[in-house]
Amino acid sequence: MVKQNQSGRKDTGMRVGFIGLGNVGAKLAGSLIRNGFDVMVRDTDEAAAKSLLEGGARWAESGRALAEACDVIVTCLPSPKVSAQVLEEKDGVLDGITPGKIWLEMSTTEAADVQRLGAQVEARGGIAMDSPVSGGCHRASTGNIAIFAGGRREAFEKVLPLLTTMGRQVVHTGKLGSASVLKVITNYLAGVQLLSTGEAFMVARKAGVDLAVAYHAIRVSSGNSFVHETEGQLILNGSYNINFTMDHEVKDVTLFDDLGKSFGVPLELSPVCVAAMNDGLKRYGPRVWSSQVVKRLEDDCGMDLRAPGFPEYLVDHEPEGKGAEVVVEHRRGYE
């Protein structure tokens, strides 16, 4: 049973450090704080931590200080390069790793890189896991996002109370790096679905079909997807505000393309997806919302994809609830 102390914090026996307070990271850290965990935070922009500090989090002056003070060190950063820097720099996380500490990499990164950094963590007696999330910022806000977790089973069971607080469905994917592979795969699928959703809407519009009708017809059909139900609404509103930027979209689909090519897979759709995302970045810039890649079609066709009644941004209306591990039947093993 998890007890609460007089400060309202949960007595889990784990002090949690969280580095990276961007669109997703701040929301994940917020779920831990909201649910009473003892949390220390760090970001290159201290202003990003303001609401978390007001909510009870403590500030760390360096990665090393955070790692020394905490039992679990979470990183949620924009690229493999930044993750490596945060761990390996002077007074970085690695300098504070001692036996028994757990590094939880929640960034979207390369399996090879998380394995390389994980080896350095384990050389110091620590434990490494990769635990990226999937499902959008709106579900990160409510603790209802999905989480993949790769690493040793005993480590997974130790951090499961944290994972089921930050997320609703948690999948233990296998060895270290397996979660990062699956995250890259799901992000690629979402990218393809985003492009196909835009094309479907444009063909419907050109054919004279009401786009609100098209949206709901697709939603109840075999053509439905998570992306259609979420980003599809933001396209029809015109805000495109998915809280995820074009440069990160390009990074993610490129990670998949590079991974597939490294295994000799004769990819066909992936290069098309990468080229379309790069064209969107070239036309509209790196910091526009990734959904705006669909604007390429609007500009090329001289026709918008607007429909009344769709939201400017997404809100998760599902009540926050305790997460649980997704039990995978017939799996061959955890490693």
Average pLDDT, integer, range 155-180: 97
Per-residue pLDDT at 274 exceeds 50: yes
Whether residue 140 sits in one domain with residue 109: yes
Whether residue 169 sits in one domain with residue 122: yes
Is residue 71 in a domain? yes
Give one DSSP letter per residue of 244-264, joined into a string.
Answer: -BHHHHHHHHHHHHHHHHHTT
Average pLDDT, integer, range 167-185: 97
Whether residue 60 sits in one domain with residue 46: yes
**Of the candidate ranges 1-5, 101-105, 109-113, 312-316, the one whose mean pLDDT is the lowest:** 1-5
Whether residue 221 sits in one domain with residue 296: yes
Q: Identify the band that residue 321 occupies on the pLDDT scale cut at 50, 70 and 90.
A: confident
Whether residue 208 sits in one domain with residue 197: yes
d(C-alpha 105, C-alpha 217), whole Å: 39
pLDDT score at 333: 67
Is residue 311 in a domain? no
Is residue 306 in a domain? no
Whether residue 197 sits in one domain with residue 149: no
Q: Identify the band that residue 335 occupies on the pLDDT scale cut at 50, 70 and 90.
A: low
Average pLDDT, integer, range 232-253: 97
Q: How many domains does the chain have?
A: 2
Ranges assigned E (strand) in the chain:
3-4, 10-11, 16-19, 39-42, 58-59, 72-75, 102-105, 127-130, 133-134, 145-150, 167-174, 324-325
d(C-alpha 118, C-alpha 112), whole Å: 10
Whether residue 143 sits in one domain with residue 7: yes
The chain-wide mean pLDDT, for the chain, equals 94
Whether residue 91 sits in one domain with residue 52: yes
**Rounded percentage of the chain residues whose pLDDT exceeds 90:** 93
Whether residue 173 sits in one domain with residue 195: no
Strand pairing class (58-59; 39-42): parallel
Report the predicted TM-score, pTM, of the whole model to 2 decimal places: 0.93
**Rounded percentage of the chain residues whose pLDDT exceeds 70:** 95
Q: Write out pLDDT tens, residues 94-131.
A: 999 999 999 999 999 999 999 999 999 999 999 999 99
pLDDT score at 10: 53
CATH number, domain of 64, equals 3.40.50.720
Q: Write out pLDDT tens, residues 7-42.
A: 444 556 689 999 999 999 999 999 999 999 999 999
Average pLDDT, integer, range 313-321: 91
Is residue 255 in a domain? yes
Whether residue 259 sits in one domain with residue 175: no
**Of the candidate ranges 5-19, 51-65, 170-184, 320-334, the one whose mean pLDDT is the lowest:** 5-19
pLDDT score at 203: 98
Is residue 334 in a domain? no
Per-residue pLDDT at 6 exceeds 50: no
Whether residue 172 sits in one domain with residue 209: no
Q: Identify the band that residue 2 occupies on the pLDDT scale cut at 50, 70 and 90.
A: very low
CATH number, domain of 217, equals 1.10.1040.10
Whether residue 279 sits in one domain with residue 247: yes
d(C-alpha 152, C-alpha 133), whole Å: 18
Question: Which residues, including other chains, have CB under 8 Å from residue 11's CB and lie 6 or more apart?
Answer: 2, 3, 4, 5
* Structure token digits, residue 183: 């995250």
Q: Domain span at residue 200?
A: 182-301
